[in-house]
Structure 1
Amino acid sequence: MMQEFPGTPAWRKEMRSTLIEARQAIPVAARQQADAHLSERLDTLLGDVDGKTISLYWPFRGEPDLRKWAADCRDRGARLALPAVVAKAHPLEFRAWQQGDKLEKGVWNIPVPPQGADVVAPDIVLAPVVGLDANNFRLGYGGGFFDRTIADLRSKGHRPQVIGVGYTQQRMDTIHPHEFDIAMDEGVLVDAL
């Protein structure tokens, strides 16, 4: 096999595959314990969430499951949202959501609030990472949705706090960022082993 140069599309694809496989290999019990620790770290970082809109995500392929933490935030006065893919190469849409709301299958069959749900501008965006580097650049699934969305929000004068979340096993020295990659404001990774 030919060695790929860091930062190239083939290198990123290989890194994604390796990191996702490693994340999915973490035992469920270890992930659940790590998710509780991640929730505590987010509480410390964010403080009072009353009146804030938090966009989380529906966990996919071994990502941290923060739905219980989000429900606790809602109980403390936060409003919740889930990101939805509207179209390929377009920014995500943040749709209001709370436990019990009807969901439909989105891209990759990830549950999302249906079209027509209230579209909101989040104050806090949690972005699951495939990899996260020392400068808080996020390696995602390759669609560029989060980068495109953050750029779009900022161009409209809205600057939510964007936090990359995951496990320490996903830490990278660098993702070799490209010009369109946008660093997260914070990175919160916890050990899952």
Structure 2
Amino acid sequence: MTDEFKSFRCRSGFSSPPCYAAEVAPEYFDPLATDPEQARDVARWRKAERTRLRATRFDLSVTERNDIGKALAGHLKQVLQDRFDGAWDMVFSAYWPIKGEPDLRPLMTELHEAGATVALPLVETKAAPLTFRRWTPETRMVRGDWNIPVPPPDAPIVTPEITLAPLVGWAADGYRLGYGGGYFDRTLAALKPRPFTIGIGFETAELSTIYPQPHDIPLDLILTEAGIRAELTIE
């Protein structure tokens, strides 16, 4: 644990753990896999960072967010072209933007029209891996978990070969700070073969570390409006 984190811990006056049901799924931390006190400390630190980083991105103007979304879409198209020949014949999972996230819906439509199978992730079972259902521009969306628009129950279930992971924060070692429920980590651990996973976030959301825990899974690639910012190297 770094001196910075120890200092944060002392300043915060940590004591008994409060309930973080809105931010962290309580079963997400495995007491057998890591020190329970450290897990609570990390959870508190991450909760504070989520609040700070979301406030930072909400401070951006609509024009600034639109410009960032366009830049990210351009970088993502280049990655798909360079590494997957455009991904036109692949299953590509995106996300529906919420809480000021970069809006890549125009690219979703472009990929669909080029022949890709586009999907969106859904929480259909609490504390379980995500389900992916097919999306098209004609899909009549319904309200899913956390009131996020999702494809309806009769939309086909698909298995993604490439998936996007929206980032609240990110670190140069490829780890992602998400919203705290652990769904993406559970999903990546469960899918065989694992899809190529691209984190999408803001350049201002970089962290020196997220203090990775045993359940955290690094992403294959992290993109911001500045381009590729982290890449997992397989030895």
TM-score, structure 2 as length reference: 0.77
Q: Name 1:78's counterpart in structure 2.
A: 116
Residue 68 of structure 1 corresponds to 106
CA 3–45 in structure 1, closer or farther in 2 if over 3 Å, else same = farther
Residue 46 of structure 1, aligned match among 71, 80, 84 = 80
Pick aligned residue for 2:212 from 162, 174, 177: 177
> What is aligned with 2:153?
115
Helix, strand or coil at the partner of 2:76: helix
Contact 1:56 1:125 in 2 (8 A): yes
Q: Aligned-residue CA RMSD in angstroms?
A: 1.6
2:54: which partner in 1? 20
Counterpart-to-counterpart distance in 2, 1:105 and 1:75: 25
| Contact residue 136 and residue 184 of structure 1 kept, 8 A | yes
Deviations 1:91-138 (A, max 9, x none): 000000111211111111100112232110111100100001111101
Contact 1:105 1:111 in 2 (8 A): yes
**What runs of 5+ residues in structure 1 fail to find an aligned partner?**
none
User: Which structure's CA Rg is the greater one?
Assistant: 2
Measure, in 2, the Cα distance between the counterparts of 1:125 and 1:25: 28
Matched position secondary structure for 2:87? coil
Moved more, 143-152 or 98-107: 98-107
TM-score when normalising by structure 1: 0.93
Separation in structure 2 between the aligned mates of residue 21 and residue 108 of structure 1, nearest angstrom: 19
CA deviation vs aligned residue, 1:49-83 (integer Å, no higher than 9, x gap): 21111111110000000000111111221110000
SS across alignment from 2:56: helix
> Contact 1:136–1:185 (CA<8 Å) still a contact in 2?
yes
The higher relative CO (CA closer than 8 Å, separation ≥ 6) is in: 1
- More helix as a share of residues: 2
The AA in structure 2 aligned to 1:160 is: P
% identity of equivalent residues:
40
Q: Distance in 1 between the 2:175 and 2:196 partners? A: 14
- Cα separation, 2, equivalents of 1:172 and 1:190: 16
CA distance in 1 between partners of 2:92 and 2:54 (Å): 25
Q: Is residue 2 from structure 1 mapped to residue 37 from structure 2 by the alignment? A: no
**1:101 counterpart residue number:** 139
Shift of 1:159: 2.0
Q: What letter is aligned with 1:50?
A: W
Structure 2: how far apart are the matches of 1:162 and 1:52? Answer: 14
